[in-house]
Amino acid sequence: MSYSVKQVSDKTGLSSYTIRYYDKEGLLPFVKRNEKGNRIFNDQDLEWLSLIHCLKNTGMQLKEIKKYIDWYVEGSSTFNLRKEMLIKHREEVLKELDSLKLNLKKIDDKINYYYKNETNIHPNLKL
């Protein structure tokens, strides 16, 4: 199956601008073009976009994502480099999760404080 940028945008929720930007930055080296020069995506390209989006949303910089993709293009000789990069990134994501959990607990504690002391709070200041 093949898809246009618009169809990929509809399927992934990424803007057409973002998809074109990723391609321009070399993050989509596999995307083919038709005779008019328009990008034509396949299902594997959608999987790559999903991975790129995941890595970016979890804090990996685009230059690091590009390095990962470049290593993939180089082939099996970079297998361990790619694996180690993802392991390191996973560790960073876990640290961020721990930090977010601590912050969430602080927010929950504050909300619980308000619920416990609701009668002492001005009516216009209730959460």
Q: What is the pLDDT of residues 25-51, one digit of tens each?
A: 999 999 999 999 999 999 999 999 999
pLDDT reading at 125 higher than 60: no
125 vs 58, which has greater pLDDT? 58
pLDDT in tens, 99-118: 999 999 998 888 888 888 77
Instruction: Look at residue 91 and tell me whether its pLDDT is greater than 70.
Output: yes
CA distance 107 to 125: 17
- Return the ∠ at Cα 47 (arms to 44 and 53), rounded to 5°: 145
25, 66 Cβ separation under 8 angstroms: yes
- Residues forming a β-bridge with 33: 39
Q: What one-letter code names the amino acid at 25?
A: E
Q: Is 115 exposed, middle or buried (0-12, 13-18, 19+ CB in 10 A)?
A: exposed
Q: Are residues 64 and 26 in contact, defined by beta-carbon separation less than 8 angstroms?
A: no
State residue 53's pLDDT score: 96
pTM of the predicted protein model: 0.81
> What is the DSSP track for 12-23?
H---HHHHHHHH
Radius of gyration of the chain (CA): 22
Mean pLDDT over all residues of the chain? Answer: 92
List alpha helices for the chain, DSSP H. Answer: 5-12, 16-24, 43-57, 62-74, 79-116
Which numeric CATH code is attached to 5-125?
Answer: 1.10.1660.10
